[in-house]
Structure 1
Amino acid sequence: MATINVKIHPIIPDGNVGTLFYQVVHEGTTKVIETDYKLYLHEWNSETEKLNVHDADAERFAYLAALGKRVECDMRRLRGIIMSLDLRIMPYATDDVVVNFADYCSRRSFGLFMKEQIGRLESMKRMRTSETYTAAYRSFMRFMDNKDVAIDEFDEKLMGEYENFLKMTGTGLNTVSFYMRIMRAVYNRAVDEGITDQRYPFKKVYTGIARTVKRALRFDDIRRIKNVDLSNEPNLAFARDMFMFSFYTRGMSFVDMSFLSKSNLSGGVLSYCRRKTGQRLDIKWEKCMQEIVERYDACGPYILPIVSPDKGDERLQYRQCQCRINAYLKRLGRMMGFLHPLTMYVARHSWASVAKSRNVPLSIISEGMGHDSDATTRIYLASIEASRIDEANSSILNAL
């Protein structure tokens, strides 16, 4: 049976950097498989044939983690090739291992490469992006009936068929674009790494942004949600309160609500940084906000009872709670006769819409559905004095 070792070549004249290679040994014959995996010599342990990542900074750690997964992937493939050759019983040479591996590299698995990118994002703590990549990967694999495909097989025809699959299964146009842009980013990275050639397979699929149905509610509908009697429906009441808290706080996103710390509230002002953009926002603390907080009296470091450090993965708790609340809000929306699904996101759009309907100047608000990007929202809000925004918010809340 052939054996595989991972070794490193120092690059001359720079003796501090090297490239990894695989040494294939079988029946006294040795062959070398070169790679373009570069690293510093001190980052490789020749005895254990493992990477040294202990002293690496965050950026270098992410690179080495991704490199380590590439090596693990290659080693799994090499061992699989050797096992297949051994099962044939017929004699084989080291050249057979090298040729089979070269064929694998020329038709590298999209699934494995996508998983590497997801792992790279996770190692960089970019959890939300890794989740969106995972969603795109699962969508594509459903289209492929869970059969992997080589990156070299990506072409206009395959992507066109995937786009048609998404549309036929009821996927919205913006979600189609969302998946396609992620797939394109992964494909382009494979091109940059020399894994495949650029064939522009996404040239004819939709990657734009379509205008969607306006999700904002009228002011009277917001008042109805606030005042509806849900005393016999505690789950619906909690979902309603979270919806109203978002509306009260100028359409705060659910992820920001979930991780509001009690230390964020001081001197009658709620101060926090948006997780999506890093932008700092200061909101005057109003009586209606305090009433919701007192109604639930959350234990632990957070203002609202959405996540708890004592219950494990906080991000998982946030996502599960968001799903539950949106499900209850949709039920509430149906009970109240709304034509479109009621979700937490509707609260964000509704604040902007109600503010506009009450003649609040456009220089003070950002109408969520009227802007093409978060950058526009940030530009508008960044130049507004906090007191003027608070005045606008108070005028809306006092009218309820």
Structure 2
Amino acid sequence: MATLKLAVTPDKVAKDGSHKIRIALGHKSVTRYIVTRFKIDHLSQFKNGQIVKRPDAAIINTKLRNLLNEYQEKLDSIRCIQMYDCRQLREILINSTTAGHTAATFQAVAGSYITELIEDGRGNYAKLLERNCRYFTEFTKGEFLLSDITPEIIHNYARFLRNTKRVGETTIGMMMSRTRTIINRGVKKQLVKYDVSPFAYYSIKSSPVREVDITIENLLKIKNHLPKEKKLRVARDLFMLSFYLGGINLADLLDVDFRKTDKIEYIRKKARNLKLGEQRIIITIHEDARPIINDWMNRNTGKLDFGYKFTYSNFYRYLTRSLNTLAEELKINQKVVYYSARKTFAQFASELGIPDGVIDYCLGHSDKSKGIIRYYTKVRQKQAEIAINRVIDYVNNPDKYKDYIEMRADVMMMKG
């Protein structure tokens, strides 16, 4: 069990002959010291853990007792002290009690970032980080210093997820990626430095591509269907609206003010605060999208209003179930989720030969293309309008593009 007490080390003498009062931390038969700002002129002024033979002794003893209580409170909050040696405990105590300084533990950095994400409206990602933080804390049996995370710790955490939590390889990859996010955040905030990166010898497996795009035949089934049941109307209309607006995500779609007559303008919630220059997306509203918007738009707020008071998470689940029912009713033999609209738009655009940079702009991805043109928003906006019009025209007139798509597929095969 770790202990704290006030102490003076006789061999540590300042040039003027004074001695600093220290807090002695004892743990696993080892003692480490935390230096305080208080000092005595000679050893006779310190007896049985207190200042004596000084006119200000009572005041200093009170301040020292308060400081000792502060450290004791932090020590008591560490749930599994046996995970640490005496040096590690000392670092946690120092980092967590310095005014204005965040404790350089994995849990503290994760908690700070999670709070920031929630304040920025990115609650879903915050929940994912919180889940990983719980798993990592279960693995380490309590708070764990960032400075003590080594490649071996990372390797053992992956084994813990696989053998103890029994999660799949895809989930392991996601958890390890979130672990790296917290570690990188600690590095960027200069809370920790590594001679060898914890991930130096661990490769995070890429998540498999979600094959949820649908064929043009199945998209036409959804487009041409006019269900009477409200939940199916909501599902059909949101799906098609995402497709018509370049694959916009649901969180962004529900936040759009549609009172502007000809276009929408937004920054993806997922990407907010991640880049120095936030990428604003401007999409011209296609005439096929306007009737859907008019049916559901709240005239006061300009946002889509379906008459439900669900939380976003509950509404997303409601939409997912409704889309599943719609697909069954239409006898669609492919998986259909809201994300299918986004994937299908991207797939059709690619088949039509639309440049990747333009597709990325429509989807709100960072533009990896070269050249100064990527900085001209008006150029990208016009290109996006042309791309969306072409994709929708392809859906409305598939035979018009059949020969071109087949020819382009043959050319791509020959290049491969």
TM-score (norm 1): 0.61
Structure 2 residue aligned with 1:200:
197
Cross-structure match for 2:293? 293
Cα–Cα, structure 1 residues 101 and 210, in superposed 2: closer, same or farther, change >3 Å? closer
**Pair 1:220 & 2:208 matched:** no
8 Å Cα contact 2:106-2:182 kept in structure 1: no
Q: In structure 1, how many angstroms separate the alpha carbons of the residues matched to 2:117 and 2:252?
A: 21
SS of alignment partner, residue 374 of structure 1: coil
Task: Describe the SS at the equivalent of 2:394.
Answer: helix
Q: Report how far residue 240 of structure 1 moved.
A: 1.9
TM-align CA RMSD: 4.8
Structure 2 CA distance for partners of 1:236 and 1:381, relative to 1, 3 Å: farther
- Residue 412 (structure 2) aligns with: none
Does structure 2 conserve the Cα–Cα contact (< 8 Å) formed by 1:225 and 1:240? Answer: yes
Task: State the alpha-carbon separation in 2 of the partners of residues 82 and 390 from structure 1.
Answer: 60
Residue 247 of structure 1, aligned match among 240, 243, 246: 243
- How many aligned residue pairs are there? 316
Instruction: Give the letter aligned to residue 323 of structure 2.
Output: L
2:390 aligned residue (386, 389, 392): 392
SS in 2 for 1:132: helix
2:54 — aligned with what?
A: none
Partner residue in 1 for 2:257: 261
The residue matched to 1:288 in structure 2 has which SS? Answer: coil
Q: In the TM superposition, what whole-angstrom CA distance separates every residue of 1:26-84 from its partner, at most 9, and x where no partner exists?
A: 78464989xxxxxxxxxxxxxxxxxxxxxxxxxxxxxxxxxxxxx9xx98654355899
Structure 1 residues 102 and 276, CA gap change in structure 2 (3 angstroms): closer
Equivalent residue number for residue 132 of structure 1: 125
Q: C-alpha offsets along residues 89-119 of structure 1, whole Å, 9 cap, x if unaligned? A: xxxxxxxxx9997364379643233213333
**2:408 paired residue number:** none
**Distance of aligned partners of 1:194 and 1:292 in 2 relative to their CA distance in 1, 3 Å threshold:** closer
> In the alignment, what sits opposite 1:49?
none
Which amino acid letter does the alignment assign opposite residue 294 of structure 2? E
Measure the CA separation in 1 of the matches of 2:231 and 2:245: 21
Q: CA deviation at 1:334?
A: 5.1
Q: Residue type of the partner of 1:102? A: R
**How many percent of aligned residue pairs carry the same amino acid?**
16
Offset from partner CA, 1:224-253 (integer Å, 9 cap, x none) = 122345324x22331221111101112122
In the TM superposition, residue 221 of structure 1 has moved relative to its aligned partner by 0.9
Amino acid in the other structure paired with 1:202? F
Q: In structure 1, give the amino acid aligned to 2:158.
A: E
**Taking structure 2 as the reference length, what is the TM-score of the superposition?**
0.59
Q: Displacement of 1:275 after TM fit?
A: 4.2
Q: 1:156 aligns with which of 151, 154, 158?
A: 151
Alpha-carbon deviations, 1:166-197, whole Å to 9, x = none? Answer: 45644453x54443233224224445645575
Q: 1:119 aligns with which of 115, 120, 136?
A: 115
| Closer, same or farther: CA 148–80 of 1 in aligned 2, 3 Å | closer
Can you list the C-alpha shifts for 1:327-376, whole angstroms capped at 9, x where unaligned?
3324444555556642222111101222344x3543785279xx9x6333
Unaligned runs of 5+ in 1: 3-20, 34-70, 85-97
State yes or no: 1:141 paired with 2:134.
yes
